[in-house]
Amino acid sequence: MLTEKSVLNNDLSNFTLSEIVKNNFHTAAIFEKYNLDFCCNGKRTLDNACTEKGINPENVINEIEDVNSSSAQREIKPDEWKLDILIDYIINNHHSYVSRMLPVIAAHTQKVASVHGGNHPETKKIAEIFSAINSEMRHHMMKEEKILFPHIKVLVQTNNNSGIADKPYFGTVKNPIAMMEAEHQSAGDGMLDIRKMTNNYTSPADACTTYKITFKELKEFEEDLHKHVHLENNILFPKAIELENQLQ
């Protein structure tokens, strides 16, 4: 098991990206800087991920060790939270943010495409991709909040009361989790396409204010999505499956 001590004293290159972020949530910012996917593809070792990107892992490791050595940066540890607390955190922070920003960014990408699509045809494709993300994420979060998350909370309550969990209509928690993970991958791939088309959200010389703001919003949205998906794919979902197995 990865511990704070092991992260500080062993070769970080052999740990997976998700393990490193689970140990210290603030290291997510470092992976964002180097475009290393710690959420949907977080099971890769740091060394493998850096090799794929042509990045010297020592540069990344040095920055991670700087963050890990600061006690002030080790306050947020979602991996240690109870699952119901983690669910509430995801809803109150990430779901609320996504719900607030989806219509804003969708409107901005459409406006930029309509005004600048002639000179920058990629903006039309960006608006199209984000429109799909907008629709998918709305349905995705609804399914999590109405079906998956309540069931996980039932598992937590059942465990607290030393009971036996009833089998849900969807058979096992693994089934909706598999669907949610596939949708996470789809949204992540869409945002990756947008990032590539925008050269890491770099505004062109003739960009208007709305154009520049839209790119900043897209960048922030993708960074939030990575943290959001990490909390679910790498912490909440595996622990929910483990809890269900224990109760059965």
Which CATH number covers residue 45?
A: 1.10.3910
The tally of domains found in the chain comes to 2
Mean pLDDT rounded to a whole number for the chain: 91
pLDDT at 4 over 60: no
Is residue 1 predicted with pLDDT exceeding 50?
A: no
Query: Are 9 and 57 in the same domain?
Result: yes
pLDDT above 60 (res 5): no
Q: What per-residue confidence (pLDDT) applies to 75? A: 61
Considering only CA atoms, which of 99, 42, 36 is closest in space to residue 231?
42
pLDDT digits (tens, 9 = 90+) for 190-204: 999 999 999 999 999
Residue ending a domain, choose from 78, 99, 134: 78
Above pLDDT 70, what percent of the chain? 94
Regarding whether 170 and 89 lie in a shared domain, the answer is yes
**Radius of gyration from C-alpha coordinates of the chain:** 20
Q: Are residues 137 and 169 in the same domain?
A: yes
Q: SS3 for 116?
A: helix
What angle do helix axes 122-143 and 174-197 make, rounded to 10 degrees?
Answer: 160
Give the whole-angstrom CA distance, residue 220 versus residue 235. 22
Residues 13 and 114 in one domain: no
**Bigger pLDDT: 2 vs 163:** 163
Task: Check whether residue 57 and residue 134 sit in a common domain.
Answer: no
Q: Is the pLDDT of residue 7 over 50?
A: no
Per the model's pLDDT, the better-predicted residue between 246 and 144 turns out to be 144
- Please report how many Cα atoms fall inside a 13 Å half-sphere around the Cα of residue 136, on the Cβ side: 19
Are 155 and 34 in the same domain?
Answer: no
Least-confidence region, from 36-45, 107-116, 136-145: 36-45
* Same-domain check for residues 221 and 173: yes
The boundaries of the domain holding residue 59 are: 4-78
Q: What is the mean pLDDT of residues 80-88?
A: 95
Tell me how far CA of residue 221 lies from CA of 29, 95, 134, 185, 224, in angstroms: 13, 12, 11, 15, 5
Residue 180: count of CB within 10 angstroms of its CB: 21
60 lies in the same domain as 89 = no
Same domain membership, residue 232 and residue 214: yes
In whole angstroms, give the CA distance from residue 186 to residue 65: 32
pLDDT of res. 6: 45
Tell me the mean pLDDT in the region 91-95. Answer: 95
Section 127-147 average pLDDT: 98
Give the containing element (helix H, strand E) for 98.
helix 96-116
Task: Give yes or no: residues 146 and 207 share one domain.
Answer: yes
**Residue 16, pLDDT above cutoff 70:** yes
**Residue for token digits 């197995």?**
245
Asked which of 78, 93, 118 is the last residue of a domain, the reply is 78
Question: Which residue shows structure tokens 């799909």?
Answer: 132
User: Which DSSP category does 121 fall into?
Assistant: T
Q: Look at 13 and 127; give whichever has higher pLDDT.
A: 127
68 and 185 part of one domain = no
Residue 42 to residue 237: CA distance in whole angstroms:
14
Separation of alpha carbons 130 and 124, rounded Å = 10
| pLDDT band per the 50, 70, 90 thresholds, residue 166 | confident
pTM above 0.85, yes or no: no
Return d(Cα 212, Cα 65) in angstroms, integer: 34
**59 and 160 fall within a common domain:** no
Domain's final residue, options 78, 95, 112? 78
